[in-house]
Amino acid sequence: MLFNMIKIAILLTLCSFIVSCNKDETQLPYLSRFDFDNDNIHDTINYSYSGGAHCCYQISLFLSSSNTTQTFPFQIDGGYIGGFDDSKPDTFFIKDFDNDGLPEIYLKINTYNGDPIDIPIEWQEAYNIQTHYILIDYYNNKIRVIDFPEQP
Ligand SMILES: [Ca+2]
Ligand SMILES: [Ca+2]
């Protein structure tokens, strides 16, 4: 009896170990599920939150290939209940928008409680963006930020 229980306990432990080793990619947290720089290692999006009911989140992106983190100034409207995630795809979503095999980060930026605020001149100059809808794209071995194309 005791021997059988031990056997079952060992089997259960083994099973859960095997299951955790074979984790489906979709079970990884959304922010660490994607490989942006094409080295077959997942990269990580980190975020900070200013507090308050709405404004704002800011993100940074850690790339495994260069072992570097790039922080972006873009303010992302709040309203996330369980932390910054994919629950508001009209604001933040990751997908291969341009069909080049690598995912891009889509962001709606600089709105407060849904209302757009002017894009700061510094952002326009630094990133060459004009709109509230942008893509963070790994292109030619580096990160670039572009206005969201009309037809990705
Ligand atoms: Ca990577
Ligand atoms: Ca792409």
The residue extents of the domains of the chain are 25-147
Residue 7: the pLDDT is: 58
Pairing status of strand 133-139 against strand 44-49:
unpaired
Q: How far is the CA of 126 from the centre of ligand 1 (A)?
A: 24
Is the Cα dihedral 117, 148, 146, 108 positive or negative?
Answer: positive
Which of 4-13, 44-53, 85-94 is predicted with the least confidence, judged by mean pLDDT? 4-13
List pLDDT tens digits, range 56-82: 999 999 999 999 999 999 999 988 888
CB 75 within 8 A of CB 110: yes
Please, what is the average pLDDT of the chain? 86
Q: How far is the CA of 137 from the centre of ligand 2 (A)?
A: 7
Ligand nearest to the CA of 67: 1
